[in-house]
Amino acid sequence: MISNKQLQKLAARHGTPIFVVDHDEIRRNYGQFKKHLPRVQAYYAVKAEPLPEIVKTLYDAGASFDVASMPEFRIVYENIKRMPAKERQAWIWDKIIYANPIKADETLRDLDPYKPLVTYDNQEEIRKIKRCAPHAGLALRIRVPNTGAMVELSSKFGAAPGEAVDLILAAVKEGLVVEGLSFHVGSQTTNFENFVQAINLAADIFKEARDRGYGRMNLVDLGGGFPAPYDESVKPFSVLAGKINAEIDRLFPKDIEILAEPGRFMIATAATSVVKIQGKAVRDGKVCYYVDDGVYHTYSGIIFDHCHYHMKAFRKGREQICGVFGPTCDALDVISMSENLPADLELGELLYSPNIGAYSHASSTYFNGFPPAKVVHVNR
């Protein structure tokens, strides 16, 4: 891990705010995923943090990629454009899934020459794919329990299990090839039974499809939801992996390919935000610090990801409950109203937030004229 001393040196060199990405930590996280889930091919969810440097590190480590827009597709494609065309096409099929169930006509037309693997979950999408991307392979996304997830996704995407085989056969009737199933148990899922129930639902649908005459499916995409260790309440990844391994080995033969779309798990612990205190006030008896990054930038996950990032000081002091605010004039720009920090910090001192790699800097804006934090990559 990057030390506090290193973080302070980087801030002195580059200024603040900075978003420090530790590529060794990314490689460690990928290694842990493969160690505990050896049968599962990891398709990094690029939306979690789409920096090309991160994509390259994971590409070099052996990862595949889950993309949900054409800009994300092109970020990944940059890593393979020097390959011969024949090898490139094979790589796209093995290394990219376009996992946004709802796609614009223009997107599908752009994707079609690559013969991609795409997800769908309704009749209208079948018609669009047939019309605009007939060379695509399909994975039906099914709705599964999201109980206890930090971000629930089942109300937005996923076919009901009872209609799943009808949608598979409807796509086949249109001349399309359904390669398998996908699901998502919800982001930052600490209720591991969600995975168990979802895998069992997928196995039931595989059996029903075979019983109704369609036996060509050969993959299951476990989606995302693999939790990052934000605090001690998150059980070890090995515990979740043990449950997943037991179910897929029990329910799916070895010739069925198992995919997953970890985003948060790969990148959450691999980035740290460093900010500078540029204002200080006492309001209603509470010390309030104003820093040069906020919820319109690196701390966007407070709004969009239902996540809280703790602020830490680089020096010790008597701590008390403090407020921490971002730099914009918007009242929404609140990082925390109850952060334990030394009350005697001065203007110009630095604070930092670890474990802020996922769904944070990726959503930065230029609201109020403030630019996103500078990204600093550390490769040791």
Q: Are 64 and 262 in contact (CB under 8 A)?
A: no
Taking the mean position of all CA atoms in its chain, how far away is CA 282? 38
Catalytic residue, from 132, 288, 307, 329: name it: 329
Q: For residue 204, what are its two tokens?
A: 């039931």
Residue with tokens 């590409």: 59
Instruction: Report helix angle 193-211 to 237-251, nearest 10.
Output: 20
pTM of the model: 0.93
Pick from 89, 183, 86, 179: which is nearest to 137 by CA?
A: 179
b/e sequence 286-315, b meaning 16+ C-beta within 10 Å: ebbbbbbbbbbbbbbbbeebebebbbebee
- Domain boundary assignment for the chain: 4-19+271-378, 23-267
The pLDDT of residue 72: 95
Q: For residue 322, what are its two tokens?
A: 């403090």
Q: For residue 98, what are its two tokens?
A: 């376009």
Q: Are 277 and 345 in contact (CB under 8 A)?
A: yes
Q: Are 159 and 125 in contact (CB under 8 A)?
A: no
What is the rounded distance in angstroms from the CA atom of residue 97 to the CA atom of residue 152?
A: 21
DSSP state of 142: B
CATH 3.20.20.10 correct for 23-267: yes
Cα-Cα-Cα-Cα dihedral sign, residues 3, 15, 58, 104: positive
What is the rounded distance in angstroms from the CA atom of residue 83 to the CA atom of residue 122?
A: 35
The pLDDT of residue 153: 59
The pLDDT of residue 81: 65
* Known active-site residue 329: yes
Domain 4-19+271-378 CATH class label: mainly beta
Shared fold status for 4-19+271-378 and 23-267: no
Taking the mean position of all CA atoms in its chain, how far away is CA 77? 18
Structure confidence by residue, pLDDT tens digits, 132-180: 999 999 999 999 867 655 655 566 788 999 999 999 999 999 999 999 9
Q: Are 129 and 122 in contact (CB under 8 A)?
A: no
Task: Give the ranges where the chain is alpha helix by DSSP (H).
Answer: 4-14, 23-36, 52-61, 70-77, 85-95, 105-111, 123-132, 164-173, 193-211, 237-251, 264-267, 301-304
pLDDT tens, residue order, the chain (380 aa): 899 999 999 999 999 999 999 999 999 999 999 999 999 999 999 999 999 999 999 988 999 999 999 999 999 988 766 556 655 555 555 689 999 999 999 999 999 998 889 999 999 999 999 999 999 999 999 998 676 556 555 667 889 999 999 999 999 999 999 999 999 998 888 788 999 999 999 999 999 999 999 999 999 999 999 999 998 888 999 999 999 999 999 999 999 999 999 999 999 999 999 999 999 999 999 999 999 999 999 999 999 888 899 999 999 999 999 999 999 999 999 999 999 999 999 999 999 999 999 999 999 999 999 999 999 999 97
The pLDDT of residue 78: 80
What is the rounded distance in angstroms from the CA atom of residue 121 to the CA atom of residue 157?
A: 7
